[in-house]
Structure 1
Amino acid sequence: MSRTMKIAIVDDEQDMRQSISQWLALSGFDTETFASAEEALKVLGADYPGIVVSDIKMPGMDGMTFLKRLMSVDSSLPVIMITGHGDVPMAVEAMRIGAYDFLEKPFNPDRMTELAKRASQTRRLTLDNRALRRELSDGTVLMKKLIGSSPVMERLREDILDLGQADGHVLIDGETGTGKTLIAHALHAVGPRAGRKFVALSCAAFDEDTLGAKLFGPAAEDGGLPLVEEARGGTLCLEDIEALPQALQARLLTFINDQGIPPETRIIGVSNLQEQDKTCEDMLRPDLYYRLAAMKITPPPLRSRGEDILTLFTRMSEQFAEEYGCDAPEISAQEAAQLLQAPWPGNVRQLINVAERAVLQNRRGTGSIASLLMSDNEETQPVMTTEGKPLKEYVEAFERMLIDNTMRRHKGSIVSVMEELCLPRRTLNEKMAKYGLSRADYL
């Protein structure tokens, strides 16, 4: 999500600190100033959410020593050095140590802003990648991403926890957009291999020779290990496993058989087969298929998840509304029914796209949920699922979504929710208990 990056300005001259701070603040940055490197080091840690602008010539700890200290704390932290005339060789040395760039006094303020923007983009990407890596190694975080209280999702989470603790290889198949890659990461993160490597490769992304070299060797020119070696002791996730050529299927089976029981390295095959009248079983040699499919997970399609559809839509639209700096759309009972009835051929991935477009439509004050659902399907009329549902189910799903949204908006304030929904406290408590909603989740 979009966020303002900080800029730490370190300079012993007060006028210089203030002028740089004022200029960058006008450019939209959140600035903080420090009169010395020692003072700045008390604040600047490994995950500092921004960049640093520092003078080189300072009393006490100079800029070069300061830079070395920062690089020892976080070598990816962008540091822009400011140097006086004649100190360019020193600035070049700073670049060698790890500085992002340098500016020579007197510098053009616009040049400073442009440099700060580029450095901030680099920093944002670094921090996002770190956060993603932490998420992908944290089983608790990953399980929370599998949103939904429907029975099929409860069973899916139980299956992940059970199979995550097991030693056998796993096959994950099912429709596109159902979160199969997320499930593969979760299986690794909740099991005994969580602290070891998770190595992923798409079998559809390379020709047979390249794929064979990446998987089994010889070692790459850059000195990297074949993936079966890199993943040793951890998990090797093969996406699009149905695209693995027959000769490589034989080599993979040999690798599996040579490991014995329990296997040192777990193989997770992810099938994304889109062809009609064909299954992953048709594409893999039987002995390999049955070695993998002994433990199998098939995530449920979105259309079978009932009111999870509304929960997911609400969460996604709130996230996009925050990102775009606008209000999330309020869903009417009719629109809730349309969301519940849609076939969702693209599953959760499609729902995320619809939620984002709904937020953008709402920001412009145009469009409708029905138009978005129609544009995502070939038919010219809104598409409904083949299995109808009783009106009572639609009403209850909408009611749960309405209470959930209102509780979330008022951060668990029962009084505010009672006033907005015109409900007596006893009725609200009964409905929250009926729908499994707890006030503690909103505080």
Structure 2
Amino acid sequence: MAKAMKIAIVDDEQDMRQSISQWLALSGFDTETFASAEDALKGIGPDYPGIVVSDIRMPGMDGMQFLKKLMGTDSTLPVIMITGHGDVPMAVEAMRVGAFDFLEKPFNPDRMTELAKKATQSRRLMLDARALRKDLGGGSTIMKKLIGTSPVMERLREDILDLGQADGHVLIEGETGTGKSLAAHALHAVGPRAGKRFCLLSCVAYEEETLLRRLFGPSDDGNELPLVEEARGGTLVLEDVETLSATAQARILSFINDQGSPAETRIIAISNLQEQGKTLEDVLRPDLYYRLAAMRITLPPLRQRGEDVLMLFNRLSDEFADEYGCAAPEVSAQEAAQLLQAPWPGNIRQLINVAERAVLQSRRGTGTIASLLMSENDQVQPVMTTEGKPLKEYVEAFERMLIDNTMRRHKGSIVNVMDELCLPRRTLNEKMAKYGLQRADYLH
């Protein structure tokens, strides 16, 4: 159950603030009261988990000054202003400055509750989106499949954060196994539609007639909502969009045009077009293509992500080792170099398979990571090494992996890591900072 949002009530009149507090508390809100704007500012920061209800006319710092201070701290904080008779022009000015809404005394308590519900819902969505932005930008567990310190991954996260806030439709492209569906989820999660429905349809999974019914209705039994209705106000993802028939393309284009601008429902198109020498522009009708490709994101292939390969392999092998109840395999310098050199045609999906098989091999005490990478009988597409990389890149990637593994094994004990790697504290700190390793991530 979601935690109740706070409401800070700011009014110099004790009877008024207590009355508002009691009424909103009965409506299920967690209230706190302040007798002055100066006192309230001490307890309201940029991530305040709620909203503010404030009188306009107060001694000392008045409501308008208070509002401007709050907007300077957090411009997304909903502030409901309470005005006396004749203060409506001031309330209109408050709306211009950034107030969420205003109530004129004497006000209907039910109207206060209604406004508080709208404002707290807006605040909850904003704080959730803000938390997801931090999670995504920092590569935390929520978006762990988009982790990585390589420049291409940093750019990808920034693109997702930027486009997530926009209204236009988005085209996501990239090789198989690069995480296109995950990127679509991320775009939805960090944007204003985060609290609305996210619907994904694989266009290649249905015959044309079934696909059109699933999208636009009616359903076979007449009880299932068509996806354009189910996703209304949220996000509709069309996976394998390159397989759409001419009829389906026309219906989707008509749906997009009928929505107008800005679109009520955002469409994210995912292209898995692998045919050599062909692009999505070649297979979709031009008017639909340019509507869907108003904004574009391209997922980077694993072979372009440098030392991210070793980071991901370590994380995956640790997870599989926990699942199978055994130790994760140690990666030699030669195997680390081979992991870095491999072209990974199956990208993350292929790396997951190799990591799992490496753990199973290690549990049996047979085979090596190198044998998996070079095996022609592997169930995944064989991974053959390609051209080499600069020596410095190999050394730094292996050094990062070694510190990461040692920190994991010792559960973040700096002293034990220093002893095992024969490193002084300052050098270890510098290398951890260089490679973006945080001690807090290993404490468990």
Question: TM-score surpassing 0.5?
Answer: yes
The answer to whether the Cα contact below 8 Å between 1:142 and 1:182 also exists between their aligned partners in 2 is no
User: Are positions 1:385 and 2:375 aligned together?
Assistant: no
Is it true that 1:193 corresponds to 2:201 in the alignment?
Answer: no
Q: Distance in 1 between matches of 2:142 and 2:169?
A: 20
Structure 2: tracts of 5 or more residues without a match: 1-127, 136-140
Tell me the equivalent position of 2:236: 236
Write the letter of the residue equivalent to 1:384: T
Partner amino acid, structure 2, of 1:422: C
Secondary structure, counterpart of 2:396 in structure 1: helix
- How far did residue 385 of structure 1 move? 2.7
SS in 2 for 1:344: coil
| Cα shift at 1:156 | 0.4
Match of 2:217 in 1: 217
Paired letter, 1:383: M
Structure 2: how far apart are the matches of 1:376 and 1:180? 28
Change (3 A) 1:180 1:424: same
Measured in 2, the distance between the counterparts of 1:297 and 1:342 equals 24
Q: Which residue of 1 aligns with 2:427?
A: 427
Change (3 A) 1:376 1:294: farther
The alpha-carbon deviation at position 381 of structure 1 amounts to 9.6
Matched residue, 1:373: 373
Q: What's the counterpart of residue 143 of structure 2?
A: 143
* Contact 2:202–2:240 under 8 Å retained in 1: yes
Checking the alignment, whether the CA contact within 8 Å between 1:241 and 1:270 is kept in structure 2 is yes
Indicate if the aligned counterparts of 1:143 and 1:157 stay in contact, CA closer than 8 A: no
Deviations 1:264-321 (A, max 9, x none): 0000001111222222221111111111111101110000000000000000000000
Displacement after TM superposition at 1:222 (Å): 4.5
1:433/1:380 CA distance change after superposition, 3 Å: closer
Tell me how far apart the structure 1 counterparts of residues 369 and 179 of structure 2 sit (CA, whole Å).
23
1:275 aligns with 2:275: yes
Q: 1:247 to 1:142 in 2, by over 3 A?
A: farther
Q: Hey, what's the Cα distance between the residues in 1 that align with 2:430 and 2:210?
A: 61
Q: Which runs of 5+ in 1 are unaligned?
A: 1-133
Q: Which residue of 2 aligns with 1:403?
A: 403
Contact 1:271 1:280 in 2 (8 A): yes
Q: Is the 8 A contact 2:412 2:442 kept in 1?
A: yes
- DSSP-derived class of the 2:237 partner: strand
**CA positional deviation for 1:204:** 0.3
8 Å Cα contact 1:204-1:240 kept in structure 2: yes
Q: Is the contact between residue 374 and residue 380 of structure 1 (CA under 8 Å) also seen in structure 2?
A: no
The aligned residue for residue 333 of structure 1 is: 333
Secondary structure of 1:236 counterpart: strand
Q: C-alpha distance in 2, partners of 1:190/1:430?
A: 33
**What is the TM-score with the length of structure 2 in the denominator?**
0.66
What do you get for the CA RMSD once the two structures are aligned? Answer: 2.1
Instruction: Call closer, same or farther: CA 1:263–1:376 in 2, change over 3 Å.
Output: farther
Which whole-Å CA distance do the structure 1 matches of 2:265 and 2:433 have between them? Answer: 45
Matched, 1:364 2:359: no
Alignment CA distance shift 1:313-1:167 (3 Å): same
Structure 1 equivalent of residue 49 of structure 2: none
1:245-264 matches, within 5 Å, as 245-264=245-264
Show structure 1 runs of 4+ deviating over 4 A: 376-382
Is 2:165 the counterpart of 1:158? Answer: no
Instruction: Give TM-score, length-normalised by structure 1.
Output: 0.66
The Cα of 1:172 is off from its aligned counterpart by: 0.4
Q: Aligned runs of 1:171-182 on 2, under 5 Å?
A: 171-182=171-182
Q: Distance in 2 between matches of 1:154 and 1:362?
A: 33
SS at match of 2:236: strand
Name the CA distance, whole Å, in 2 between partners of 1:249 and 1:163: 24
**Partner Cα separation in structure 1 for residue 167 and residue 205 of structure 2:** 28
Query: Residue by residue, what CA displacement relative to the aligned partner does 1:196-217 show, whole Å, maximum 9, x if unpaired?
Result: 1111111000111111111112
SS in structure 2 of the partner of residue 431 of structure 1: helix
Q: 2:399 corresponds to which letter in structure 1?
A: E
Aligned residues: 307
Aligned residue identity for 2:314: T
Report the Cα distance in structure 2 between the residues aligned to 1:153 and 1:360, rounded to whole angstroms. 29
Q: d(CA) in 2 for partners of 1:437 and 1:214?
A: 46
